[in-house]
Structure 1
Amino acid sequence: MATKVRDIMTGSPTSFKPEIDIVTVARSMRDEDIGAVLVQDDDRLHGLVTDRDLVVRGLAAGGDPAQAKVGDVCSDVTASVGPDDSTDAAARTMRERAVRRLPVIENGNVVGIVSLGDLAIEKDERSALADISASTGNR
């Protein structure tokens, strides 16, 4: 059983600059079958955007989605973990901050993302969340 975040995180996460339109981001998320991407400008982490953020803050807000910028719809990052932090510490941080994904930061650089689903698969592979998280995406 893995005990470190680095053992279960998604490494080399997809990221976009804040000025990229949400349609481009949504298509990339679809093509990569992922539910979240980072919003970064060079080495500065602006936030994290989920598929839900794109719908609720982007599409539902009205206007032209091709003109809406991902930097305007992303969620602020309120917490992060390091790759050598324990999976228990990551779970505790998610619980305390009420978040489902955490950037993994090492030496000031984002090196991965760990999700609630990653933790579920690791902690209790027989749970419903682990089963759903481990399945292939709906296409």
Structure 2
Amino acid sequence: MKTIADVMSRDVTSVSPDDTIRHAAELMDDLDVGALPVTEGNRLTGMVTDRDITIRATAAGLGPEETLVDEVMTEDVCHCYEDQSVEEVMEDMRDIQVRRVPVVSRDDHKLVGIVSMADLVLDDTDDGKTVETLRDISSPLPPGQPSTSPQ
């Protein structure tokens, strides 16, 4: 059984809740990513996305220099553990329609990596399950079903 530790990206950059959204946006631009984990002392506390910055901050008229990440981030994020099976995590990603999930250690909840659909596609040895997961994540939710926060 393949675990998330076998496929996840270990080189993950995070931001602090006390960083400005401008700093977060600059990191996203430099790294060419749309989401960053938010950590305090290496413990996962949330996620901030380009959408959080663009929609939440801009819609509320919040400026990039004075607005902190914790004002726009999503606190209750889906995460997984490094010892979980790839199949289990793909099922969770499919169910809540997210393309990336922070990976934390089971004992102390410290951020140890991130797993994305790209990681799973690059390691696609699962008889098409990855393609099925990607298709399900990309499908629009049925009308009336609440959406989850973007990640």
Give the TM-score, by structure 1 length.
Answer: 0.77
For residues 49 and 27 of structure 2, the distance between their equivalents in structure 1, rounded to whole angstroms, comes to: 12
User: Which moved further from structure 2: 105-114 or 6-15?
Assistant: 6-15
For 1:15-34, list aligned pairs within 5 A: 15-34=14-33
Match of 1:15, SS state, is coil
Deviations along 1:2-26, one digit per CA (max 9) or x if unpaired, are 9221222121321111111101110
Match of 1:23, SS state, is helix
The residue number in structure 2 matching 1:133 is: none
The residue number in structure 1 matching 2:53 is: 54
Question: Do the aligned residues in 2 keep the contact of 1:16 with 1:37 (CA within 8 Å)?
Answer: yes
The residue number in structure 1 matching 2:121 is: 120
Give the TM-score, by structure 2 length.
Answer: 0.72
For residues 57 and 82 of structure 1, the distance between their equivalents in structure 2, rounded to whole angstroms, comes to: 29
For residues 17 and 62 of structure 1, the distance between their equivalents in structure 2, rounded to whole angstroms, comes to: 22
The structure richer in strand per residue is 1
Q: How many residues align?
A: 128
For 1:63-74, list aligned pairs within 5 A: 63-74=62-73
Q: Percent identity?
A: 36
The residue number in structure 1 matching 2:6 is: 7
Match of 2:25, SS state, is helix
Structure 2 alignment gaps of length 5 or more: 135-151
The residue number in structure 2 matching 1:135 is: none
Deviations along 1:55-83, one digit per CA (max 9) or x if unpaired, are 11122321322111111111123432111
After TM superposition, what 4+ stretches of structure 1 lie above 4 angstroms from structure 2?
none
Counterpart AA for 2:121: A
For residues 61 and 81 of structure 1, the distance between their equivalents in structure 2, rounded to whole angstroms, comes to: 31
